[in-house]
Amino acid sequence: MNLPNKLTLLRVFLIPFFLLFMYIDVPCKYLIALVVFSAASVTDALDGKIARKRGLVTNFGKFLDPLADKVLVIAALTVFVEMDEVRMSAIPLIIITAREFMVSGLRLLAAGGGVVVAAGIWGKLKTAFTMVTIIAILFWLSLIYDFSIDFPCSFVDAVNDIAIPVLIWISTALTVISGAVYLKGYWHLIDSDK
């Protein structure tokens, strides 16, 4: 197994550890979850670059890399929806999940026709922005709950009620845009007349 595929597998193996630290009550749980999620995000940035640079692109990588990204992001957002500490509606999660199903379906149709659906600039931007948003939220949770930093109430409310929802909705908007770009580019695959 080549290095990019090992990095992708590492990202998959880090997901349960991220979830574990989000749910168990241990000291610095959000800091640990932040480190685990950040490490997983770094593997996402590295595996594709290494694979393309060294000519190590494989079918295994093409399959598992986007799947690992989706599971990592959806896992984090699902946890946030459940948490009282993060005021996140389920609506962005539903939109993001629906887009991921749609793109996965397009990839399956394309693969049947021998076409590879590569990640475009909007998809990469969506993934990067969403991962940075999740890292920012975890950093905020760590400051508040792990380190008990006593920010003014108005600042805490502004972050919880404005900054976090804005970041999540920007991620959602980028998700919708990237999904629309994929749909437009591969619409011929789902033509109702075929």
- Separation of alpha carbons 61 and 77, rounded Å: 24
Q: Is 116 left (phi over 0), alpha (psi -120 to 50) or beta?
A: beta
Residue 62: is its pLDDT beyond 80?
A: no
Residue 131: is its pLDDT beyond 90?
A: yes
Minimum mean pLDDT range among 26-30, 44-48, 67-71: 44-48
Domains of the chain in start order, with CATH, are: 3-190 (1.20.120)
Tell me: the pLDDT tens digits for 156-190? 999 999 999 999 999 999 999 999 998 888 887 77
62 vs 142, residue with greater confidence: 142
Average pLDDT over the chain, rounded to an integer: 91
Residue 193: is its pLDDT beyond 70?
A: no
pLDDT tier at 194, thresholds 50, 70, 90: low
- Separation of alpha carbons 3 and 29, rounded Å: 30
Helix residue ranges, H only, the chain:
3-23, 29-54, 59-82, 90-112, 121-141, 153-158, 164-185
28 vs 182, residue with greater confidence: 28
Cβ contacts of 193 within 8 Å, gap of 6 or more: none
